[in-house]
């Protein structure tokens, strides 16, 4: 067989092996050969050969009779190496650059720090009149769009602990309604809540475990953001936050 044909065959084998690994999910951690075959249409002998190769490398383990397969320790080692080298600001920068270019407004990335959120990346609007909070700036999760976009997606116990510390003057019932809306829409919008005359639009992003890690958003003066433009920017913010979640390893299962 020519070298080119052998090379093409090897590449196909790698593609099929990857497809096998991608069959597994949190909802389907163990699978039979028949179940795998529905996702990766291969002959039974070829599928078994690939599974044996993956098992020999610690990527798949097999148990029981009839045999059932699951991901093994080597997948976790690869994931750990990937997560260790992951820089959220580096991953988010091109996404924020595109958001700023699309909207013409300041785009920013926030991470959760306990009961606070902190700005770790900010790309300021090119307009003379521009809103900026600055890298390193922190604020409470219950205040502003960027904080509420995170708070609305925390576990119930974590959210409850934060809400118990609300200062006097904060209407807890109104905040609960706001958070329910944010959770429903995967989007938070605040008007003049932090800066008078400013609109902030933020959406949550999630890590590889599916936990909310922070928020991504933009802010600008109300004078430039009418209702139509606000809706358009909101769609862009949600799209960018979803893209960042995917880049950080979040996997959505149907």
Its domain, for residue 25, covers 3-82
Evaluate whether 159 touches 175 at the Cβ level (below 8 Å).
no
Indicate the residue among 37, 54, 82 that finishes a domain. Answer: 82
Same domain, 144 and 98: yes
Q: Is residue 162 part of a domain?
A: yes
In a domain, 254, yes or no: no
Question: Are residues 188 and 164 both part of a single domain?
Answer: yes
Asked if residue 59 and residue 156 are part of one domain, the reply reads: no
Tell whether 202 is covered by a domain. Answer: yes
Q: How far apart are CA 12 and CA 50, in angstroms?
A: 11
pLDDT at 192: 85
Query: Within this chain, do residues 59 and 95 fall inside the same structural domain, yes or no?
Result: no
Decide if 19 contacts 39 (C-beta within 8 A): yes
- For the chain, list residues with pLDDT below 70: 1-10, 79-86, 251-254
Same domain, 105 and 198: yes
Q: Tell me which long-range contacts 152-160 makes (C-beta under 8 A, separation of at least 24).
A: 152/179, 152/180, 152/182, 152/183, 152/188, 152/204, 153/183, 153/204, 153/206, 153/212, 154/212
Domain boundary among 51, 82, 113: 82
Q: Are residues 129 and 171 in the same domain?
A: yes
pLDDT for res 30: 92
Helix (H, G, I), strand (E, B) or coil at 54: helix
Confirm whether pTM is higher than 0.85: no
Rounded CA separation 132/125 (Å): 8
Residue 167 DSSP symbol: P
Q: Are residues 90 and 207 in the same domain?
A: yes
Domain count, the chain: 2
Domain co-membership, 122 together with 207: yes
The CATH number assigned to the domain holding 39 equals 1.10.10.10
| CB contact at 8 A, 193 and 72 | no
The whole-number pLDDT of residue 80 equals: 63
Query: Is 147 part of any domain?
Result: yes
133 plus 193 within the same structural domain: yes
Within a domain: residue 253? Answer: no
Q: Is residue 252 domain-resident?
A: no
CATH number for the domain that contains residue 108? 3.30.450.40
Boundary (domain end) residue, out of 66, 82, 98: 82
142: in domain: yes
Rounded CA separation 139/243 (Å): 25
How many residues in total does the chain contain?
254
Which residue pairs from 195-198 have beta carbons closer than 8 angstroms and sit at least 24 positions apart in sequence? 195/131, 195/219, 197/221, 197/222, 197/223, 198/131, 198/222
Residue 14 lies in a domain: yes
Residues 103 and 12 in one domain: no
Same domain for 107 and 53, yes or no, is no
> In terms of domains, do 50 and 112 share one?
no
Helix (H, G, I), strand (E, B) or coil at 50: helix
CB 116 within 8 A of CB 172: no
């Amino acid at each position: 067989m020519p070298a080119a044909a052998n090379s093409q065959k090897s590449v196909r084998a790698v593609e099929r092996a990857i497809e096998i690994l991608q069959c597994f999910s949190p909802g389907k951690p163990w699978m039979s050969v028949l179940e795998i075959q529905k996702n990766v249409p291969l002959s039974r002998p070829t599928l078994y050969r690939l599974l044996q190769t993956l098992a020999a490398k610690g990527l798949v383990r097999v148990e029981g009779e009839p045999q059932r397969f699951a991901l093994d320790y080597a997948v976790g080692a690869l994931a750990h190496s990937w997560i260790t080298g992951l820089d959220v600001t580096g991953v988010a920068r091109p996404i924020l650059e595109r958001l700023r270019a699309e909207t013409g407004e300041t785009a920013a990335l926030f991470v959760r720090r306990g009961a606070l959120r902190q700005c770790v990346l900010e790309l300021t609007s090119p307009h003379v009149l521009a809103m900026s909070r600055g890298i390193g700036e922190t604020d409470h999760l219950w205040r502003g769009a960027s904080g509420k976009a995170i708070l609305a997606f925390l576990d119930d116990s974590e959210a409850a602990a934060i809400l118990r510390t609300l200062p006097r003057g904060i209407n807890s019932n109104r905040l609960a309604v706001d958070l329910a809306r944010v959770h429903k829409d995967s989007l938070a919008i605040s008007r003049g809540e932090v800066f008078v005359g400013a609109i902030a639009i933020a959406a949550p992003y999630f890590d590889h475990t599916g936990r909310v890690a922070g928020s991504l958003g933009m802010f600008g003066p109300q004078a430039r953001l009418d209702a139509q433009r606000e809706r358009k920017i909101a769609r862009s913010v949600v799209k960018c936050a979803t893209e960042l979640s995917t880049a950080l390893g979040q996997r959505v299962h149907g």
